[in-house]
Structure 1
Amino acid sequence: MAVLNLRPLAGGRILRGSQPFGLDAAATSGFLAEHGIQAIVDLRSELERSLVPWLVHDGLVHDGDGEPAAVAAPAVELIHNPLDPNAIAGSLQAVETAEDLGELYLGWVRLRPEWVADSLRPVARGKRTLVHCSLGKDRTGVVSAIGLLATGGTEDEVVADYVATTANLPDVLEVMAETWRLSVPSTPAKYFSPDLMILQSPEAAMRHFLAGFSKEFGDVGGFLREAGLTAVEVEALR
């Protein structure tokens, strides 16, 4: 298989996508080399990572604080920067409308601004970076939205990128459902129904998020500086 829902942002400085479905070590190395990926920011929880791990042997794992765990520079830096939607404010089950979905995203940013900053730090340091969660839709969508704005993208470009996921969701959900059935057979099939708003990517959700973000945080550069990036790193994103 592959990393699904994959596309470049910000002139190719950022790649966004799903988790690495069905890639063995050789296929993983080939994928990373093909796309020139120098860093991977994995936004998944520990449980999610255990079901579909990255098989990166030459990479260097750290926990998103910007300080590597070893001196030698890795070929690919693998950064675990998790956000578990089930362990943070806002219930996934309570998402019934597009506005609910956008509000969920705002809750993540309010409570974990450093999570966003840590996700974009390798980009600011000049690394071609793959940012991903499981589907490559929600957590990835939030980081991608702020990353696009920080690198000079417009709100319309952010919305267009978010909505582009819609066409890819049937394939991603099918593979995701099969992955969970094999690993956790008790998982109900309804958890992966495309009728669930939490598994959709409507324009109104991202519009709601962007309007709320602008109202609460104003300039994206100021938000990222408050969240932990240096002024130099913020400028490098631009």
Structure 2
Amino acid sequence: MAVLNLRPLAGGRILRGSQPFGLDAAATHGFLAEHGIQAIVDLRSELERSLVPWLVHDDGGEPAAVVQPAVELIHNPLDPNAIAGSLQAVETAEDLGDLYLGWIRLRPEWVGDALRPAARGKRTLVHCSLGKDRTGVVSAIGLLAAGGTEDDVVADYAATTANLPDVLEVMAETWRLSVPSTPAEYFSPDLMILQSPEAAMRHFLAGFAREFGDVRSFLREAGLTAVEVESLAL
């Protein structure tokens, strides 16, 4: 398998995608080398990581011999079930946008930490599980910082829609194998939390502008230096 829902942002300095489905150590090395990835920012919870780990270190925590040169693996988790809002309460696109706003209200530093490797010049893969929500929030702010327009951000977010059937199928199979008790409806494409409508991102961006104003000021408050913020610009 592979990293799904994969695409470049910000002139290729950032890649966004899903978790690494079905990659052994050799395939992991090939994927990272093919895309020139120097850092991985993993936004998943500890449970999610345990189900689908990155095979870039051996059991002792040392870089695996097959992965050369070494890739920095950064765990920067946000567990949607443990922070700001209920996933089950997401019924509309606006609810989804509000969920995203809740994350960055409580954890602005989470965004800064996710973008720091790219701000320091590393070609960086940012991902969560589906590569849609947590990845979508970080990608949106990264694109704005790089000079992207609202329409650019919305188009990138909505591009996930075409990839969701494949990603959800693989994700459902992964959970069935690891947690057989997982209900099939947990991965229903009818759930708003598993969709990526343009309206959700536009609602998020409107709220972001209203609450935080300029993206560069937000990133400074989120812990990036002025130099790092400037380096994200194209």
State how far apart, in whole Å, the 2-side matches of 1:85 and 1:202 are: 19
Query: What displacement does 1:75 show?
Result: 2.1
State how far apart, in whole Å, the 2-side matches of 1:120 and 1:89 are: 21
Cα distance change, pair 210–67 in 1 and its aligned pair in 2 (3 A): farther
Query: What displacement does 1:89 show?
Result: 1.2
CA contact (8 A) 2:154 2:202 kept: yes
Cα distance change, pair 206–72 in 1 and its aligned pair in 2 (3 A): closer
Root-mean-square deviation (CA, aligned residues, Å) is: 3.4
CA contact (8 A) 2:85 2:99 kept: yes
SS at match of 1:37: coil
State how far apart, in whole Å, the 1-side matches of 2:12 and 2:25 are: 24
Query: What displacement does 1:70 show?
Result: 17
| 1:162-191 residue CA offsets vs partner (Å, 9 max, x unmatched) | 000000000000000000000000000000
SS at match of 2:159: helix
| Residue segments in structure 1 that go unaligned for 5+ positions in a row | none
Runs of 4+ in structure 1 deviating by more than 4 angstroms, as ranges, are 66-74
CA contact (8 A) 2:56 2:64 kept: no
SS at match of 1:145: helix
**Range 42-51 or range 71-80, more displaced:** 71-80
State how far apart, in whole Å, the 2-side matches of 1:211 and 1:200 are: 19
Cα distance change, pair 86–70 in 1 and its aligned pair in 2 (3 A): farther
Query: What displacement does 1:57 show?
Result: 2.6
| 1:188-227 residue CA offsets vs partner (Å, 9 max, x unmatched) | 0000000000000000000000000000000000000011
SS at match of 1:79: strand
Cα distance change, pair 76–197 in 1 and its aligned pair in 2 (3 A): same
Cα distance change, pair 22–77 in 1 and its aligned pair in 2 (3 A): same
TM-score, structure 1 normalization? 0.93
Query: What displacement does 1:45 show?
Result: 0.1
TM-score, structure 2 normalization? 0.95
Query: What displacement does 1:69 show?
Result: 16
Cα distance change, pair 27–226 in 1 and its aligned pair in 2 (3 A): same
State how far apart, in whole Å, the 2-side matches of 1:10 and 1:20 are: 22
State how far apart, in whole Å, the 2-side matches of 1:132 and 1:163 are: 16
| Residue segments in structure 2 that go unaligned for 5+ positions in a row | none
State how far apart, in whole Å, the 2-side matches of 1:157 and 1:86 are: 29
**Range 208-217 or range 70-79, more displaced:** 70-79
| 1:60-118 residue CA offsets vs partner (Å, 9 max, x unmatched) | xxx99x99999999721000000000000100000000000000000001000000000
CA contact (8 A) 2:57 2:64 kept: no
